[in-house]
Structure 1
């Protein structure tokens, strides 16, 4: 199936934002998505993941049948689970190494570095059973559950789309009490990324990917109206962000805005974050599509697309690099020199993420060269 470069670019951008957002002292993190909208890269990552699932599922089912599509995504869920476990081990070991080198860091909880040494089998078992989800990797636990249910939920969505989305909306409405029923380490609070809330965004992405050829002819004649609604939603979100940044002087305005949206809860995916990412999706997919298509053909766009194509490898790499960048940031001095050093660290981790993804995508090529140079008896 032909790849869509702009989607790969956006996946790469989401991973870069996730990495930078977990470096509290970073400089470029002030320019990431969450500084301009009420949602962040997590929503972008999950929506794009759902879109790709819907798009791939339809193609596989057309060519090989439903069983092949179901089996493909069961295997994908297993791979995501593997990435969660391996990533959790690498995260804990790397955190332990940083502490051994006297490099403090706040991106992850310090206890992981202790547990992996004091009780490695217990640590691995609790992650593998998904009783515990280390922070920075917890979105993978959500992804495991969503992909694992796809063999049942996606056929339901394809057969009865309106009913399926109504059920999804109802589950989202009851997401908090449902999540509290999931047994795990958080004692009655469920998973941090509430799967009953976030499934709505994921399956919205699946529906867009699967039915885009039917949806767009209906929506395009209403482009002007939808552009106006989308821009209004995004400007409303930007006003909220600006009020948060200004602080106390903007409190009267912030209070008025809050009467409209109520509260914003990332972990259960509140309504404003949901409609805001959908508004942004419309803007990117329709009025701004030529601009994003052009960006995907630039050098930066192609590099971000390589990060996006790195998939789970890129995700785990971005987690480890965010820890390293966070630790390096904490060694920077105050003042202009510290600012410039933190900026250089930001640039370095972005480049390192791209190099990591590029090496992974070309692994057959360079591994082949290495094998060719080894003695035949090895």
Structure 2
């Protein structure tokens, strides 16, 4: 299947944003997606993941049949679940090591560092059962559930798209009470990333990936209207962000805007965040497509694409680097020199993520050379 370079670049950008957003003292954190919109990299990551599922499913089913596609995504769900467990162990061990080195950090809960040593079997079991989802990795628990349902939900979507999307909207509408039915360690039952809410964004992505050749010609006929509406939605979101940044002086304007959107809830995926990421997707896909394709073919774009292609490896790496970067940030003094040092730490974690992803993508080459050296 021919890769879409812009898609890979955006996946890489989402992972960089996720990493920096989880470093509270980061300088470049002030430039991530969440500073300019009411949604953040999590929505971008889930929507792109759904889009990729739709694209891959169609290709696999056309060549090998539906059973092959179903089996492929069952195996993928297992891989994501395994990445959740391995990532949780590495996260806890890294946190423990940093505490032993007297490097404080706040990106993850300190209890994980205790439990992995005091009760490693219990820690791993609770993660494996998804009774507990360590923060920073909790989106993987959501992804496990979404991919695990794909062998049933995607064929339903392909066969009866309008009915399937209506059901998805209905589940999203009832996502709050439905999530409380999931047993969990949290005092408020359910997963932090409410799967009943986020499934709508994921399956919108699946539908766009699977039916893009049918959907896009229809949408392009109304390109001007959709672009105008999308720009308006994003400007509305930017006004909300600006009011939040200004604080008390902008409270009257913020209250007036709130009369329109009600409330914003990331964890159940509220309506404003949902339509905002869809509006941004339209702008990237249609009016700004040439610009993003150009960016994807720059050196920076290619580096981000390699991060995006790293998949689960890149995701777990970005989580570990965010913890490490957070710990380093907390050792930096305040002032001008501190600003430069934190900026350097940001650059270091981004480069480290890219190098790690690039090595992973080329693992067959360098592992082959390494084995050849050993057998000489």
Q: TM-score range by the shorter chain?
A: over 0.9
Q: Give the Cα–Cα distance (whole angstroms) in 2 for the partners of residues 283 and 346 of structure 1.
A: 28
Equivalent position SS for 2:3: coil
1:6-39: per-residue Cα shift (whole Å, max 9, x none)? 0000000000000000000000010000000000
The number of residues matched between the two structures is 376
Kindly state the Cα deviation for residue 187 of structure 1 after the two structures are TM-superposed. 3.3
Q: Give the Cα–Cα distance (whole angstroms) in 1 for the partners of residues 245 and 189 of structure 2.
A: 30
Query: In 2, are the aligned partners of 1:23 and 1:325 still within 8 Å (CA)?
Result: yes
In structure 2, the partner of 1:236 is: 236
In structure 2, the partner of 1:39 is: 39
Q: Give the Cα–Cα distance (whole angstroms) in 2 for the partners of residues 329 and 45 of structure 1.
A: 26
2:149 is equivalent to residue 149 of structure 1: yes
Kindly state the Cα deviation for residue 142 of structure 1 after the two structures are TM-superposed. 0.1
Query: In 2, are the aligned partners of 1:139 and 1:193 still within 8 Å (CA)?
Result: yes
Q: Give the Cα–Cα distance (whole angstroms) in 2 for the partners of residues 19 and 101 of structure 1.
A: 22
* Cα RMSD after superposing both structures: 0.5
Deviates more, 1:268-277 or 1:365-374: 365-374
In structure 2, the partner of 1:288 is: 288
Moved >2 Å (runs of 4+):
none
In structure 1, the partner of 2:223 is: 223
Equivalent position SS for 2:222: helix
> TM-score by structure 2 length?
0.99
1:186-243: per-residue Cα shift (whole Å, max 9, x none)? 1342000000000000000000000000001111011000000000000000000000
How do 1:71-220 and structure 2 match up within 5 A?
Answer: 71-220=71-220
Equivalent position SS for 2:364: helix
In structure 1, the partner of 2:52 is: 52
In structure 2, the partner of 1:5 is: 5
What runs of 5+ residues in structure 2 fail to find an aligned partner? none
2:18 is equivalent to residue 18 of structure 1: yes
Kindly state the Cα deviation for residue 98 of structure 1 after the two structures are TM-superposed. 0.3
Q: Give the Cα–Cα distance (whole angstroms) in 2 for the partners of residues 221 and 169 of structure 1.
A: 25
Q: Give the Cα–Cα distance (whole angstroms) in 1 for the partners of residues 219 and 204 of structure 2.
A: 16
How do 1:232-311 and structure 2 match up within 5 A?
Answer: 232-311=232-311
In structure 2, the partner of 1:330 is: 330
Query: In 2, are the aligned partners of 1:87 and 1:316 still within 8 Å (CA)?
Result: yes
1:45-66: per-residue Cα shift (whole Å, max 9, x none)? 0000000000100011011100
Equivalent position SS for 1:206: helix
Kindly state the Cα deviation for residue 136 of structure 1 after the two structures are TM-superposed. 0.1
In structure 1, the partner of 2:370 is: 370
Q: Give the Cα–Cα distance (whole angstroms) in 1 for the partners of residues 365 and 208 of structure 2.
A: 35
2:354 is equivalent to residue 347 of structure 1: no
Equivalent position SS for 1:268: coil
